[in-house]
Structure formats: C-alpha cells, structure tokens
A and B are shown apart, each in its own frame.
Chain A
C-alpha cells in the first residue's frame, strides 16, 4: 500500500570520492513522498555525506539525484527546494529568532513584512512566540532546536533534511523531541530524511530505515524488518543487542536449516538464500527471544551454566556459557513472569529459543 506513493528523492548510483577515499560506493535509494526516512549508521559510514549531497553541500562524483522528476545533483543548495536542520542548528547569531525563521522566505523574494508574518506563524507552531526577539544564544538547547526546525520548515520545502538534530539534547528532551518531530512530519506531510547514529532513535521514529556502513546501504526496510530480519552481520550487530554465533550448516530440508555450533550443539532455523549446506556463517538470535528453564522444554534446548545476572531496570540479562560452547546472553523482563526464569550464577539451566527467532546471516 505504501508502495503506491511516488518517489520524492531518487538516488541513482551515486558515488562520492574525497581524493583516494571513497565515501560512498554506488548508492541507490528511493525515498517516498511523505515518508519519515532515516539514514542510520556509525560515524564515517557515509550517511552525512549522502545527506549533504541531497542538500547540495557536496558534489556527486558520479550518479544522479532526482527530486520527483527533476535532476538536482548539480544545482547549488539555494536552488533546491530542500531545507536542512543542522546538527548544531547553525542559527545565525547576529539575527533575532524571528529574523532567523524569516530568512529563507526573505531570500525567496518575499517582502520583509510578509517574511516576518510567516515566521511569526512558524514560531507559534513550535510554541516560541514569546522568544521572537531574542538572540539564539539566549535560548536553551531545546528551544534552539525548535527554532532551527521552524526556520527550515518556514519556506515549505518539499523535503526536510535533519542531520543528527537531537544529538546535542539530553536524554529526556531527546525522547520528547522524537515524538514531536514525528508528529510535525505527519502534520506537515513533508518528506523527512533523518540522519542518526542512534539505532533506538531510528527505530522509534522512522517509516523506513537505511542502515549504512562503509559507504554502502547494508539493509533497507521498516524498523521491524531490520530488527527482526537483519540481512547481515553488520546490521544484526549494529541494531540492538544480539547473540552472534558461528555455525556450520549441516542440512537443509523444507526451508529449514539444521546447523551445529561449538560443543556439538544443534539447532534449526529458517533457511536463507545464499547460505548452502556446509557453509560456515553466523547466526543471530536476540536475547529477549531466548528463555531459560530448569528442564529442557523442547528438543533443541541447550544446556548451559549461568555466569552472571545483570540487572538493568526493565530487564535482567543473564550471561551463560554453553557446555563447551559459546557464551550466550538471555534477557527476561523484570516482571513476575520473567523473574521466575532467572537462575543463580553457577546453576545449570537450559536455553530455549522461540521458534523463528534465530536468523542466518549472509556475511
């Protein structure tokens, strides 16, 4: 259903080199109209470079970028109907809040009066009307963030780019801004492209996420797809906590692969294209998809010894060593039901896996 929407930003085989260093290796992505799209990855993965190329601050070495059906890769930033919320906001320190918000409108040729009227409306939207005549330096970080947002939205861009806009805020404020951003995106109907290295933030807000690493898109999908079905080791490891186990595939029958891991333990999981019999690959299983029991609950229960319990508030993580096998972590919620499944260090326990939760990774 969502696939019916037109493509707002189409990135076609874009390559970016800085001298000898290749920042982006032929990236292609289609970002849909009215989508909250996130580029997620560790620092240096090329996500910010990609964003800056969409904004027009970097040229493309090769490839094309389309805004709807217009090629924009060679337009200067002031000729692109795309605005940016910068990481440290980049509010003009010599101008008042109102002048900041009205700047884009004024540059578009609106009269000063019209620009400041519209800027006033935008400030109302972000609830900063009473600060209109202050200088940006007189505002708190969260307020500056709203001004930056209002400034970028005021000229009604077709696409809004957000470069880690929440990274300078404290945890509490960040959480509430995440919700507010999502809300504003829904209300304005503008396509948002959001860059972050914070996977939790990405999962919270995005319609779709492109996980990037080493100048390439590793996986593209919804938050759930990426979390539940990571395509490769990088994605599995980068998003959330996981148990990454080295396994060898013994046989494949009816779409199920049977593998063994260190210590001779065996388990089965869904087969994946590109992983054949005899392959030595990694298997990912999320700690919250495992549970412990005193007696084996199914054929594939793995016998292990508890090393340590770590209390983290909402959950309890138990570290276990499989008999002659790898180390596991298992997470149980800090609830009556979850606490019944916690064992003391030194005790033996069986590790059980929810069906369909283990996933083979194409490295």
Chain B
C-alpha cells in the first residue's frame, strides 16, 4: 500500500542497489563460470568443459567428497527435522502458553545460538564433549547441529503462529473439536508455511555450518564445508569450484522453494 512511495526515491539509490547486487553476485558468477573451465590452471580460460564435475564424482578426491556429502546431507536432514519438531513445540508454549515467569529466560536460551558468536559456541561445545568424554564424530556433529538449528527453525514458526489469531482454535472447539483435533485439523495446517520455511532454513544452516562442525567433528570425519575448507587450504583447485557451484545451485533451489511456499501462504 505504499502508494506514491516511489516519489521519495533518490536517484543515486538505484545505482547503489545495482552495485550491491553486483557485489553479491559477481564472485558467485565468476566461480560458476570458472567451474566450467577446461584448463587445469585456475587463472587461464581453456574453453568450456564439464571435466571438473566429472572429476568431483570420479577423480582422486571423489571418495572423500562422497562421504562428506553423505554426512552433510544426512546430518542436515536429521538435525533440521528434530530441530523443527522441538521448535514447533517450544513455539506452542511461547505463543499459546500465556504469560509465565521464565518466558524471557526461555526466549534467551532459544536465541543463544544466534546471539553468541559461533566460535564461542564452538569452543563451549568442544569443551563439553571433551569433559564428558563423548567421542567426537558423527554423533557429536549431529547433536551440535540439532542445538544450533533450533532458533533458526523457531523464528519463522513462532512468527507464523503469532500471525494466527486464537479465534480459529476457538471456532474449532466451538464446533466440538477437542484440543488435539483443534491443533491437528486447524492450527497445524495454518502453521504449515512457517514450519516448512523453518525446516528449510534449519536445513541450510546445518548444511552450511563450518566453524562449529570443525570444532566438534573429531578426526577422520568430514562434512562438505570442512572437506572444502581442507582442500582450499592446500590451494584452490577447479574441482572445488565445481562442488561449490553445485552447492550454490542446491541452495538456490531451496531458497526458491521457500519463497514459493511463502507465496502460497500469501494467497491464503
């Protein structure tokens, strides 16, 4: 409803917006282009080729990347699912649970992984797993990911729930639904867009995480980000650009999905 808002536009702002988008996209585009470079050197252009994509799947590092990808995706899937369930339950209590004494404290705890610098969380978790003698590996990564994914799932879910008036559940109960039926048949379907975007956000956050994973993973297990980081440390090779481009494409698909979900929501 911002009628006439464009009249308060500043001409330079348009230019800065394009500059902003250019800054954001140029590196990604360059890497995408160079991932199709036939040359073994990353500096010179040797023509279009898919050889580095083939290399990712069949080259000397393929086994490493394959297991890293399996770890990354399985952890992201489980962590996002569990975190979404925990976040939905917490959102019900926070948004539909009335006022209570520990509400602010609870919100603080839920937001901790967002408020605390990631490196600090990483250190704390490393110390924790070390202190209780928990062998670092797949499980320690998974537990850490579940924990820090909770706020990212929580925020869209609770935002969505706040937008749903209590009157719908009242109407359901007025029409003889019990509490469980009112939740399942009325509240849950209305919350679905929030739950889906919460899940997708958590999924991406888990898939992207480097710092915490790097601290809690222990030796001998890699996720995609730690594997890529390890390779980059030894020098930027074209196969890394191919993997990066694939991950980039995957993220773009997920954002688009999430965006489409929110569009469906708007036409409700």
A interface residues, Cβ below 8 angstroms from B: 55-57, 76-78, 82-84, 86, 88, 90, 92-95, 103-104, 107-108, 135, 137, 151-152, 155
Contact = CB atoms under 8 A, between A and B. Distances in A.
A92 B186 contact: yes
Given A90-B168, A135-B268, 11 more contacts: A55-B170, A77-B170, A78-B178, A84-B170, A86-B171, A88-B167, A92-B168, A92-B186, A94-B189, A103-B172, A137-B268
B190 A90 contact: no
Contact of B175 (A76, A88, A93, A103): A103
B168 A155 contact: no
A92 B176 contact: no
A155 B167 contact: no
Chain B interface mostly: helix
A303 to B, nearest CB: 56
A78 B173 CA distance: 5
B177 interface: yes
Contact of B176 (A55, A88, A155): A155
Interface string B167-202: 110111111111001000110011010000000000
B171 A94 contact: no
Contacts of A108: 176
B216 to A, nearest CB: 40
B167 A90 contact: yes
Contact of B172 (A55, A88, A92): A92
A349 to B, nearest CB: 51
Contacts of A77: 170, 173-174
A107 B171 contact: no
24 contacts: A56-B173, A56-B174, A57-B170, A77-B170, A78-B173, A78-B174, A83-B175, A84-B170, A84-B174, A86-B170, A86-B171, A90-B167, A92-B171, A92-B172, A92-B186, A92-B189, A94-B190, A94-B192, A94-B268, A103-B172, A104-B175, A108-B176, A135-B268, A151-B175
Most buried by B among A56, A82, A92, A108: A92
A107 B192 CA distance: 22
A84 B171 CA distance: 7
A92 B177 CA distance: 13
Contacts of A107: 172, 175-177, 181
A310 B171 CA distance: 46
A90 B175 contact: no
